[in-house]
A and B are shown apart, each in its own frame.
Chain A
Amino acid sequence: MRPLRAFFLRLGNVFQKERRERELAEELESTLQMHIDENLRSGMNPEEARYAALRSFGGVEQTKEECRDARGLLFLETLLQDLRIAVRGMRKSPGFTFVVVLTLALGIGANAAIFSVINSVLLRPLPFEDPERLVTIWHHYDKLNLPRATISPRTFAIYRDQTRSFQQVAALRAWNTNMTGGGNPERLQGMLVSDGFFSVLGVHPAMGRVFLPGEDELGHNRVVVLSDSFWKIHFGSDQAIVGKSITLNGGEYEVVGVMPPRFEFPREVELWTPMAFTSEELSSFVESLTAVARLKEGVSIQQAQAEMDTLPDLVRETYPNAFKENNGWGIDVISLHDVLVGNVRPALVVLLAAVGFVLLIACANVANLLLARGTVRKKEIAIRTAVGALRSRLVRQLLTESLLLGLLSGGLGLLIAFWGVGFLIKMTPADLSQFLPNWDTVGIDRRVMIFTFAISAVTTLIFGLAPALHASKTDLNEALQEGGRNAIGGGRSRVRSFLVVSEIALALVLLVGAGLLLRSFLRLQEVNPGFRGDNVLTMLVSLSTSQYDDAQIASFYPRLFGEVTAVPGVQSAGVVSSLPLTLSTASSTFRLEGRPTAPGEVAPHATFHVASPDYVATLGIPIIKGRSFSEREFAEDGPVALIDEVAAKRYWPSDDPIGKRLAFGFENVEGQAYWREIIGVVGHVQHSGLDVESRMQVYLPGLRNPRFARGFAELMYLVVRTASKPETFVPAVRAAIDKVDPNVPIYDVRSMQQVLSDSVALRRLSMLLVGLFAAIALLLTVIGIYGVVSYAVIQRTHEMGIRSALGATPGEILRLVVGEGLRLAVFGVAIGLVASLGLIRFISSLLYGINATDVVTYVSVALLLITIAVLASYVPARRATRVDPVLALRAE
């Protein structure tokens, strides 16, 4: 192993430098002497002999350097030496080091923080077995503009039993339940899950067992599995919990198992219980289930999709009554990860691009600083060259210094990232983070650290290479002449200008992005939600249907309204089954009396909302025509309905809809349609979000089908219009509810303003972050322009002196210098505009109400940057006008 032996010898040599140096010097000296001896013998005089020997030797110092190279691990040795020089240099100019490290650390830290979110949410596999084989199954109805609907028990059974692509298919449905029996009633987030749910995900309980086959039958389904955090918080990690009973919705459930930590699917679920279908439910086409499935080994999503594409025709043939209308029904197979990440992915990618730009701008600034310092160090570098340093050696040393700066910045950046991640987590509303996979693992892990140091190293190359190459290209004669007058460093100032132009271009792209997001957000604020959100308090009020029978439910609400409106300052109160902008909706097709839907025609389809008489008025939804429900219609679920103006215009464009009748299929009583008379037309509400088109809306005073009616009572939103700040009414309203029944839990208490603001949380967050990054970019760019112009002014002091000596007025000089800044800015802006037009389509999915080529944004951002560039060059320009020609010329 010769190379190995040599390696160890060299490693040893790194640490025995002095002895080796001495020996080398002696050996070369003796060789030189032998040359001289020889020359003397051939008859030269001593002086001649020495010079001839030196000439033929070809440079003792250079030879030594070559030998050092061969002798030790030059790489390591040089590195140590360069690091020593670098540290010394930093100590000598702490201000410079501080500015550089801080600039870079901000850029690196922001990148690391954003990356740590991407790392967890997008890159980390889901915490399940073979997560890439997990998919979800959805329906879509092209003709109803329903891109993603849940599936029905009937279709679930088909997908589970009659498909070949899946190893196993499971269904789940939210089951929010009240737990009683230990002090205050508690509202729990539960999930009803079909048999096989846990094995689809491939998770095993930490304690006890999951559900057995057969426990999904009515009568055997009173078993429950707890999540780890629920078990820890509510039961104090009771080791003997398995086998104990808890009371849910008034019924006894036996705890059979506890899941391991971090298994919460969906997140923040506290318990799971089997989904038990009645035979009626099993044959139902009402779509209320979310399906999750595991693909068979080797089956791709595309293959599964191809199989599912063949199903609608088969199902239509088998159940001709269920799919009479042509609603464009289709089935989608979507990877579980994609469903969970949803619209957060484009936002995260845009944010990463934005911080990437900030880092590039920071690099350009630092490169400019290093170039400026390169000028200061010209002499030092010239001396090194004179004593035999090769250019490659100098470049290495300068790069080592940059690397040290880069690593210091990386370290500080990591600290900033720690803080930044905390900030991001705090800024992200729970509504948004709740469904993000692996959100709980967001933080600085090994991969983030590797990423951070990788970008520090790459950063070093970007900002360090140009200055190093430039500084090492020194003209010895020019630099060493004492007081040598620098001609304008033409090449160097070109590089500096190039850097500033790139900075301006990058900043422009960022500002355009931030501007577009800001304008989208403002547009969104202008959207009329269809209700008046000020001074409205909302909360979920949940009646346990095992404790309340139908009559009790019917009498609960009038008593509730009585107590709540008795609170001083409360103007009105109402309840509704689904509050706007909370993603809780139910939708269904319906029939219009006297207008049967022809086979193949698109059936009328609307979201339906069970509402009390005062709901519409309390939320400030305008009544356009007719009236709202009466107390009696609400109490008895009278055969009446309200429709919104969209439905009115669509189906009765010229008639009066009042007095017409409609019927929802799911309300059929013993096969007979339950006809409801339209008694009022109300305003359309942006129910599904300010930025999306919402379906037409129908309000009902109750639900005729008892199975649904009872379910709705478990999840009614109370809305209260108050005279002043709604948040201050929470205790009084809680007390009013207690007067009716202290065992009724309330939760999700928010003002309607809060609901509005939460519904645009992702947009606000992306806008704020991109805006923040754009502001940093702008600041760095201003510093960059200022730096370059000031540098040019210093370089041209002499020239300015001559100009004013020859009669240039201060105004002319001002114009000259500011013109230089302006030229850079115009260049940068032009390049930036072209780049923006190319890049901005990547954020088009985040925009609302404006075009990605919105002229106002582009023009105002361009003007902003040019103005700022002029201001940034004005300060150094003023300095140039004050150059005293006599002093400038005397300095010669």
Chain B
Amino acid sequence: MTDKSDVWQGTLALMVLKTLESMGPIHGYGIARRIEQTSGDQLSVNYGTLYPALIKLEQEGYIVSEWGVSDNNRKAKYYRLSRAGRKRLEKHTREWEKAISILSRFLSPGKEPA
């Protein structure tokens, strides 16, 4: 596991929101697996980080949780995106795209910043 990076501070919330948007209601375990898969197993999600993040997002009203039953009949807590969460996701996605495009201009060699 040492070759996997931990999730960067501040990006986990965005990943969670995006995961919920694309997967619909899903439990914590599913979120963790999904993030790991999406990252091509380059990221490892620690529950000590994920669950507190979920709690915060829920308290801030971006996600909603309810108890449900999983595919193999286990009781599990399911999380889904709220309307506020959807808006936040859009906003943050835009911001991230912008940030990435600016950074890439700085970092890619050869291309002078316009």
Contact = CB atoms under 8 A, between A and B. Distances in A.
State whether these chains interact: yes
Interface string B1-41: 10000000000000000000000000111000000000000
A66 B70 CA distance: 25
Contacts of A70: 51-53, 55-56
Given A27-B76, A34-B74, A6 B51 contact: no
B6 to A, nearest CB: 11
Contacts of B28: 27, 31
Interface residues of B, number: 22
B68 to A, nearest CB: 10
A31 B48 contact: no
B70 A34 contact: yes
A666 B91 CA distance: 95
B61 to A, nearest CB: 6
B72 interface: yes
B77 A30 contact: yes
Interface stretch (A57-65, A368-376, A440-448, A677-685): A57-65
B70 A57 contact: no
A690 B49 CA distance: 77
Nearest to A10: B59
B56 A6 contact: yes
Given A31-B29, A34-B29, A59 B48 contact: yes
Nearest to A60: B47
A37 B60 contact: no
Nearest to B53: A70
A37 B28 CA distance: 15
Contact of A63 (B47, B72, B77): B47
A63 to B, nearest CB: 4
Nearest to B46: A58
Interface string B65-105: 00000101011110000000000000000000000000000
Contacts of A26: 75, 77
A704 interface: no
B60 A30 contact: no
Contacts of A66: 48-49, 51-52
B61 A5 contact: yes
B52 A69 contact: yes
Given A5-B59, A6-B60, A28 B51 contact: yes
Given A2-B61, A67-B55, A70-B56, A27 B49 contact: no
Given A2-B61, A5-B61, A31 B47 contact: yes
Contacts of A34: 27, 29, 70, 74, 76
Given A5-B61, A70-B52, A30 B47 contact: no
B47 to A, nearest CB: 5
Given A6-B59, A66-B48, A37 B27 contact: no
Interface in A1-47: 2-3, 5-6, 9-10, 23-24, 26-28, 30-31, 33-35, 37
Given A6-B59, A37-B74, A58-B47, A31 B27 contact: yes
B51 A33 contact: no
Given A28-B47, A58-B47, A5 B60 contact: yes
A470 interface: no
A381 to B, nearest CB: 23
Nearest to B84: A2
Contacts of B48: 58-59, 62-63, 66
Contacts of A31: 27-29, 47, 76
Nearest to B70: A34
A71 interface: yes
A37 B72 contact: yes
A28 B32 CA distance: 13
Nearest to A30: B76
A57 B47 contact: yes
Which one of A5, A37, A58, A70 has the highest number of Cβ atoms from chain B below 10 Å of its Cβ? A70
Contacts of B72: 37
A30 B55 contact: no
A425 B44 CA distance: 71
Nearest to A31: B29
Which one of B51, B56, B61 has the highest number of Cβ atoms from chain A below 10 Å of its Cβ? B51
Nearest to B72: A37
A33 B55 contact: no
A9 B59 contact: yes
A430 B28 CA distance: 78
A71 B75 contact: no
B52 A67 contact: yes
Contact of B60 (A2, A58, A62, A67): A2
A305 B74 CA distance: 90
A1 to B, nearest CB: 10
Contacts of B74: 30, 33-34, 37
B65 to A, nearest CB: 9
A377 B52 CA distance: 32
Which one of B52, B59, B74 has the highest number of Cβ atoms from chain A below 10 Å of its Cβ? B59
B30 to A, nearest CB: 8
Contacts of A62: 48
B49 A35 contact: no
Nearest to A41: B72
Contacts of B46: 58
Contacts of B55: 67, 70-71
A186 to B, nearest CB: 76
B75 A30 contact: yes
Nearest to B52: A70
A21 to B, nearest CB: 13
Contacts of A6: 56, 59-60
B63 to A, nearest CB: 13
A64 to B, nearest CB: 9
A33 B76 CA distance: 10
B46 to A, nearest CB: 6
A598 B59 CA distance: 95
Contacts of A59: 48
Contact of B51 (A2, A35, A37, A63): A63
Nearest to B31: A31
A393 to B, nearest CB: 15
A6 B52 CA distance: 13
Contacts of A30: 27, 29, 70, 74-77
Contacts of A37: 72, 74
A58 B55 CA distance: 18
A17 to B, nearest CB: 14
Nearest to B76: A30
A217 to B, nearest CB: 81
B7 to A, nearest CB: 13
Contacts of A5: 59-61
A59 to B, nearest CB: 7
A71 B52 CA distance: 7
A583 to B, nearest CB: 72
A66 B49 CA distance: 8
A6 B59 CA distance: 5
Contacts of A27: 28, 51, 76-77
Which one of B1, B47, B61 has the highest number of Cβ atoms from chain A below 10 Å of its Cβ? B47
A70 B59 CA distance: 10
B92 to A, nearest CB: 14
A35 B59 CA distance: 26
A6 B74 CA distance: 30
A62 B51 CA distance: 11
Given A30-B27, A34-B74, A63-B47, 19 more contacts: A2-B60, A5-B61, A6-B56, A6-B60, A26-B75, A26-B77, A28-B47, A30-B74, A30-B76, A30-B77, A31-B28, A31-B47, A34-B27, A34-B76, A56-B1, A58-B46, A66-B51, A69-B52, A70-B56
16 contacts: A5-B61, A26-B77, A28-B51, A33-B74, A34-B70, A34-B76, A58-B47, A59-B48, A62-B48, A63-B47, A66-B48, A66-B52, A67-B51, A67-B52, A69-B52, A70-B56
| 9 A-B pairs with least C-beta separation | A70-B52, A34-B29, A6-B59, A63-B48, A70-B55, A31-B29, A66-B48, A30-B76, A2-B60
Interface of B: 1, 27-29, 46-49, 51-53, 55-56, 59-61, 70, 72, 74-77
